[in-house]
Structure 1
Amino acid sequence: MKKCSIALAVLAVSGAATAQSSVTIFGIIDTAVSHYSVKSSAYGLASQANPLQFAGANERSQTVLSSGGMLPSRLGFRGTEDLGGGLAAGFWLEGPMSNDDGATPLNFTRRSTVSFSGGFGELRLGRDYTPTFWVQTLFDPFSNSGVGSSALGSVSANLNRVAALAGGGPLNPNITGGAADNYARASNMIGYFLPPNLGGFYGQAQFSLHENTKVSDTLGSPSKRGQNQGFRLGYANGPLDVAVSYTQSVAVDAVLPTGAATERKIANANLGASYDFGVAKLFTQFSRVQDKSSASAPFAFSALTSATKDTYTGALVGVTVPVGPGLIRASYAHVKFKDDAGGAPINPFAPDPDASLSKFAIGYVHNLSKRTSLYATVARIRIRNGQNSPALAIATGGAPTYLSSGNALGGYAPRSATGYDLGIQHVF
């Protein structure tokens, strides 16, 4: 990392003042040859009624020069200023890079914060990581990146995106793809972090403003769509690290002129732990994500209401094993989707409304130096009853998408995915 001592001149209306601040320029350049493939298969009665249309399977694949097979490529600037009395001010600007083509414009959508810290901890304002993303990344042998990234994280990101689009569009409309719509990061965030001298305990609490306009003559104004809040609490001491987190994001919050109201929230709770035995480091995660929807409509002197709470329950186990200058990485994850009928009677003759997926990944990192590494990763995903939940249509990366069409009677559904990364990473 390259450090520069820069004199920052600040001009104010009342006069001019100068201050010294230590600024660090940092980044990662990560490029890989990657291959991704997905497979969709026929399901249900439609495949029997239309054997020619739904015969066999649909396979799609792509080979690319990717960016971020081991860790996402990035360029950043961070700095601190000692204010005296144990107080400090700081900033962190970090943006993504697509170094395979150099086309990504300079922006700071990975992180853009200003902070004030002291013995009380740290107050941080801006766009930042969510608490549950931290847990799903730190307790994953593949750091939630590349073809080996956590299936728990991929399902959560998919679900947040699907829910946001159902609410009228991305929650972060100025960011490509909505940046997973409050899964990994959230904008307009006010965050607090515990001080680092608590005997191994660490934690954070965050609240993201929805920033919607309040209109006096509009029912349900202002909408809370885009609001996000959560916390993380952990303990790290020696080889042990364990943390729990929870976040909730409002994807839909609307009231029609008739008084009919809809609301949809994505709540993500997870627990992660790791233990370093020296010869191997073990990782585990448990995740529970709930897609909570409710609706109400005026009726006579009361209201008609309905509510559903679909649930995604997942677990991951993983390991890293140091071998000379290298590191073997492996993980297995399983996610189960439970459909909530909202109190409706269950039809024993209807197709199974639930679904599940499993993912296995294995890889090797060879460290040429402290800054430069070669790596290889391969991953395989299997999906059961993928037609029941679009959030389970996860792939190992890239552009190929599943052929996913049909209804409860039949059509095509996501079935499996494979992928590999062969790359090099340099940290500066």
Structure 2
Amino acid sequence: MRKGSLYAVAALGALSDVAHAQSSVALYGVVDEGLNYNSNAGGSRLYNLTSGGLQGSRWGLRGREDLGGGLAALFALESGFNASNGKAGQGGLAFGRQALVGLAGDFGTVTLGRQYDALVDSVGAFAAAGQWGTAMSAHAGDIDNFNNSYRANHTVKYRSAAHAGLTFTGTYSLGGVAGDVAANQVWSLGARYGGGPLAFGMAYLNARTPAANAGSLFGNNTSTGTPSAVTSPVYRGFTSANTYQVIGIGAAYAIGAATIGATYSNIRFMHLGAVPGLNAMRYAGTVAFDNAEINVKYQVTPALLLGAAFSYTKGSPVRDTSGASRSGANYLQVAVGADYFLSKRTDVYLAGVHQKASGTDSTGGPAVAAIRALPASNSNRQTMVRVGIRHRF
């Protein structure tokens, strides 16, 4: 009996070691901090230290457990923070960047929770802001969400396994409104291909009442769920829309050490006035924006990367409830950047962005330059220069 018990204990120990080897939990993160120069922050020059340039500062946990038969359980919890003052990001949410759990297998991956939409996954990385350009080089106000300013709550997400370099992604976010399945819902579809020197992607995003109280997209970046997260004059006046819709495509082609990329997006704020409390300008109908970007990056050495990008955002005229029409706003933007890797995990970078605005913006006044993540200018021009350091762990 004594010898049998010893054998049993040894067997259980071996099984425990196997189970441990088949499961993993990893702590990871990014600390990105830099010094900014803003040529016009509400009328004055501004020098300040801010968190998040190439990437938002964050820490997270991700885990995976092998369930056998090719099936695995997984989770991710990711929290953003401000390295300048230690405050939590995303309005103080505990895991405001991501919080998800799901299953993965030969069929692909299914996850549930707070997640990125298919537009971010399939197209966002082709823009300069998703590579070397910093968040400040995102399209005016990140109006197309290519730089993931907003996540979707209550989301079911499917991502296919790769087939000859092609993957498909779909998301559906439940609005949670009794008796109205469409209220506050968000859904998206996307596809991405990567093989050899060519890569491309396309996606569609549709969000209902995106800025309503406890809304489905714009409002959920704050702990209260209110639309105060929308501060950019580029589209702050259009958050009364019943529907926010984006169609995006992107592509990149590598030629030796150089990669040329391009993106296009069409953004529509439809049925303006659907949320009366957010319609101070008494807008009606639909306003549309078209954005195009071309960018190039060059790997000078294994440690040094240089990049440049040009983008143009054109807004359509918008009318109010009286039938009067106002001209739309246009934003021309140029970005340049250099990224030098001191090691595999630590790099220093320099980035510059200049934006010029024209026309009439969403607030009803002359359009002012509004580089993403910066206080808006009080004129039609704004220039930003940032020198930063990023460490990943």
Contact 1:36-1:397 within 8 A present in 2 as well: no
Q: What is the root-mean-square deviation of aligned Cα atoms in Å? A: 3.1
How far apart, in 1, do the equivalents of 2:377 and 2:181 lie?
34
**Equivalent of 1:34 in 33, 36, 59:** 36
Query: In the alignment, what sits opposite 1:373?
Result: 347
Contact 2:246-2:266 within 8 A present in 1 as well: yes
Query: In the alignment, what sits opposite 1:232?
Result: 190
* Correspondence 1:10-409 to 2 at 5 A: 20=20, 21-38=23-40, 59-104=43-88, 107-143=94-130, 146=134, 148-151=136-139, 154-156=142-144, 184-196=150-162, 198-212=163-177, 214=178, 221-222=179-180, 224-251=182-209, 264-293=242-271, 308-324=285-301, 325-341=303-319, 353-388=327-362, 395-397=370-372, 400-403=375-378
CA deviation digits over 1:13-45, x for unaligned, max 9?
xxxxx9632011111111101122437xxxxxx
Contact 2:144-2:265 within 8 A present in 1 as well: no
- Bigger relative contact order, structure 1 or 2, given CA contacts below 8 A and separation 6+? 1
Compared CA separation, residues 200 and 295, structure 1 to 2 (3 A): same
Larger mean CA deviation between 58-67 and 227-236 belongs to 58-67
* Aligned-pair CA distance for 1:152: 5.5
Contact 1:286-1:316 within 8 A present in 2 as well: yes
Percentage of pairs with the same residue: 26
How far apart, in 1, do the equivalents of 2:37 and 2:310 lie?
20
Partner SS, residue 64 of structure 2:
strand
CA deviation digits over 1:86-130, x for unaligned, max 9?
100000111112112212267211111101111111111001111
Contact 1:121-1:193 within 8 A present in 2 as well: yes
CA deviation digits over 1:38-66, x for unaligned, max 9?
37xxxxxxxxxxxxxxxxxx623322111
Compared CA separation, residues 353 and 397, structure 1 to 2 (3 A): closer
How far apart, in 1, do the equivalents of 2:255 and 2:68 lie?
41
Letter of the aligned partner of 1:419 in structure 2? M
How far apart, in 2, do the equivalents of 1:341 and 1:78 lie?
48
> 5+ unaligned residues in a row in structure 1: which ranges?
1-17, 40-57, 159-179, 215-220, 255-261, 297-305, 404-413
Aligned residues: 333
Partner SS, residue 143 of structure 2:
helix
Bigger share in strand: 1
How far apart, in 2, do the equivalents of 1:82 and 1:30 lie?
33
Contact 1:152-1:315 within 8 A present in 2 as well: no
Contact 2:70-2:105 within 8 A present in 1 as well: yes
How far apart, in 2, do the equivalents of 1:317 and 1:390 lie?
30
* Aligned-pair CA distance for 1:147: 5.4
Query: In the alignment, what sits opposite 2:225?
Result: none
Compared CA separation, residues 31 and 210, structure 1 to 2 (3 A): same
Compared CA separation, residues 107 and 252, structure 1 to 2 (3 A): closer
* Aligned-pair CA distance for 1:339: 1.9
Contact 1:60-1:401 within 8 A present in 2 as well: no
How far apart, in 2, do the equivalents of 1:266 and 1:123 lie?
25
Letter of the aligned partner of 1:400 in structure 2? P
CA deviation digits over 1:248-307, x for unaligned, max 9?
0112799xxxxxxx96101000000011112201110010011110679xxxxxxxxx96
**Equivalent of 1:424 in 379, 386, 389:** 389
* Aligned-pair CA distance for 1:142: 3.1
